[in-house]
Amino acid sequence: MHNRPLAYTNSETSSTKQRSSVATSSEPFLSIQDVAKIYPTANGPYPVLQGVNLTVQQGEFICVIGHSGCGKSTLLNMISGFATPTRGEVRLRSQPITQPGPDRMVVFQNYALLPWKTALENVYIAIDAVHKQKSKAEKMAIARDHLALVGLTEAADKKPTQLSGGMKQRVAIARALAVRPEVLILDEPFGALDAITKEELQEELLKIWNDHRCTVLMITHDIDEALFLADRLVMMTNGPAANIGEIMTIPFPRPRDRARIMEDPHYYKLRNQALDFLYHRFAHDDVG
């Protein structure tokens, strides 16, 4: 079980409240304050996001959903540090985020593995970049431990072309976790996987999250995935100038059991509420 020691906000989940019995600090772990992002384009400035506000507690699991092009990746890029806000601020432990860092690791849908390196080497490289002072043997041991964590010990010496999509994504998750980030950012990580592999990886991700206690922000297009994984579901309005339209608290107790959740009448109420948001209140031609 998680032990989440930070103070509550009004929008915090009841499940988080159960876990966070040792609240000590009023400082938000991660805060997005009145953020706007405007991209310069050939047709002039394009305001993707405007007036985005969100506070995330340490150890929370947040899913972000919204139609294709509304600015989900742009928002998470400002947390990873690959992009900076045009207005407003993103802060981690009160410090403005201005660049990428090993405290915030990203997993992409397309895995982003180096094709000429083995699974083990792909994980090793990330550790090597962050822990210069550790010996090669120590770094190899960390890489092997993290491949084992995602069940890939046997595939350590295989190159990405020899791995299935699910295995490649496991390597990418192992690589991200191997540097022990405080924040794990997942940009639609299971979008390219078949339904069975996707469910397996969702279960593994929940287990890893539970054991590692990192804060997770994950983009998904799958409402069921969000209801299974998240403490809160952030639903974004359509762009241009998109922002957060609604934040849904997902109250199912942890550890979560998929079958039990799906038998819960509350599940369908929440599911319908999210569907209504996406397909009625903020309907879009592109149903991504």
Ligand X SMILES: Nc1ncnc2c1ncn2[C@@H]1O[C@H](COP(=O)(O)OP(=O)(O)OP(=O)(O)O)[C@@H](O)[C@H]1O
By CB under 6 A, name the binding residues for ligand X: 39, 41, 46, 48, 66, 68-74, 239, 288
Interatomic CA distance for residues 7 and 15, integer angstroms: 14
Mention every residue, 6+ apart, whose C-beta is less than 8 A from residue 131.
138, 139, 142, 179
Q: Which is nearer to ligand X, 13 or 74 (CB)?
A: 74
Minimum Å gap between C-beta 30 and ligand X is 18
Minimum Å gap between C-beta 42 and ligand X is 9
Mention every residue, 6+ apart, whose C-beta is less than 8 A from residue 28.
6, 9, 55, 56, 57, 91
Q: Which is nearer to ligand X, 73 or 169 (CB)?
A: 73
Helices (H), ranges, 111-264: 119-130, 136-149, 165-178, 195-212, 223-229, 258-263
Q: Which is nearer to ligand X, 76 or 126 (CB)?
A: 76
Q: Which is nearer to ligand X, 120 or 230 (CB)?
A: 230
Minimum Å gap between C-beta 131 and ligand X is 31
- 239: helix, coil or strand? coil
Q: Which is nearer to ligand X, 16 or 73 (CB)?
A: 73
Q: Which is nearer to ligand X, 59 or 239 (CB)?
A: 239
Interatomic CA distance for residues 187 and 176, integer angstroms: 13
Minimum Å gap between C-beta 67 and ligand X is 7
Interatomic CA distance for residues 132 and 71, integer angstroms: 35
Q: In which element (H, E) is residue 273 found?
A: helix 265-276
Minimum Å gap between C-beta 82 and ligand X is 10
Minimum Å gap between C-beta 187 and ligand X is 7
Strand 30-41 with 87-92, pairing: antiparallel
Interatomic CA distance for residues 124 and 130, integer angstroms: 10
